[in-house]
Amino acid sequence: MLGGGFIGDFYVHALHGHRRTDLVHVVYSRSESSARKLAERHGIPHWTTDMKEAVNHPDIDTVVVALPNFQHLEAVRMAAEAGRAVLVTKPLGRNAAEAREMLELVEKHGVFHGYLEDLCYTPKTLKANESVRNGALGDILWVRARETHPGPHSDWFWDPELSGGGAIIDLGCHCIEIARNYIGKEVKPVEVMCWADTQVKPIDAEDHAIALVKYASGAIGQFEVSWSFRGGMDLRDEVMGVEGTIFLNHFLRTGFDMYTAVGEGSYVAEKAESATGWLFPVGDEVNALGYDFMFTDMFNAMDEGKEPMETFYDGYVVNAIMDACYRSSGSKKWEPVELEVWRGSDEVSGGPQLRDYDDRYFLIKEEKIPDGTVKLILKEKSSGKIIQKVR
């Protein structure tokens, strides 16, 4: 485990708790205190402040990168050259160029690689994606993903040189990949319109952003991310298709509400701002945020000699979309998604769904009105004229 901080701790909980066959043998951290404390807390036999020592330790076969963004490339290069399987937390790189270099490294050395995008693995998301794949929503038209909270927990996040940006690089990566899973990863992201600004925090990066990502199918992925939202962490997704809709609330309001006048007395949930008043605890945070299923997928894929659901290539595509977001937020225009490597379809589709009512008309809408009759809105095929009928 490269990283002895907040996310490294979550990862070890998931690794030791779900499959129960995958054990962390070595932990590395830049901080001796963090490395030692994580090792002691989870019974990890070795800890070090030397990354090379950790990666080349004889007891390991897989490197999990839970480090700050500016260390990802160094860690991946070291792991790939050592022939280790390597799993990297989001975002893969600070930009698409870094992400592509990491992709090239793991493919050159032929090592297993996985992109640790936990929010694509939440139980609700996996079930919703299964419904989409089964056709329950028909063609996907629009996906909105929202992740907002009061801001990240470590200093390097707030420095755009170290992190690669602000709320977009930190949270937008989640939202973009969630949308890609619903829309279809084979569908090419084409262009982006993004607003981003620093509204509250005294920093040089954006603390709030909203973007539209247009796909070749005509679908739109929309995200809103913020480091200035008050009240905890808000994770919500909406998926709209021709035949149905899905609403998901992952974290802030999940049916577990508690009021306390005196205080909880312990940890409530990630990014919770208070331990008194109305609280929204999470029953099993590691599972609710997708870590369990994420690592199960990674190691099952490794055992079976196949690719996991999320690979470095996915991380590269996400970085390319975020690069376009940053260009758009500066130009105030639609900006193209620049993908030097594209492995999906180049087919461009979209446009209105044409559903026959009969030989003469297309059906636009059918609705039962209060008096019990049915109103039909139809379009004549020959003339294009729109009419209505009551049945």
For the chain, give me the number of helices (H) and strands (E)? 12, 17
CB 114 within 8 A of CB 191: no
| Fold match flag (6-90 vs 120-284+312-336) | no
- What pLDDT score does 154 carry? 92
* Window from 9-18, 115-124, 197-206, 259-268 with minimum mean pLDDT: 259-268
pLDDT band at 19 (very low <50, low <70, confident <90, very high): low
CB 209 within 8 A of CB 325: yes
- What pLDDT score does 17 carry? 82
pLDDT (tens digit per residue) in 324-369: 999 999 999 999 999 999 999 999 988 888 899 999 999 999 999 9
Quote the tokens at residue 39: 């090792």
Unique residue bearing structure tokens 């979209």: 350
pLDDT band at 254 (very low <50, low <70, confident <90, very high): confident
Which CATH number is 120-284+312-336 given?
Answer: 3.30.360.10
- What homologous superfamily is domain 6-90 in, according to CATH? NAD(P)-binding Rossmann-like Domain (3.40.50.720)
Alpha helices, DSSP H, located in the chain: 6-17, 32-42, 51-55, 72-81, 96-109, 123-133, 160-163, 167, 173-183, 285-288, 291-304, 312-331
- What pLDDT score does 274 carry? 85
Domain range list for the chain: 6-90, 120-284+312-336, 361-390
pLDDT band at 4 (very low <50, low <70, confident <90, very high): very high
Within 13 Å of residue 57, how many CA atoms lie on the same side as its CB?
A: 22
Q: Give the residue-averaged pLDDT of 134-156.
A: 96
> Is 90 exceeded by the pLDDT of residue 69?
yes
Cβ count within 10 A of residue 153: 12
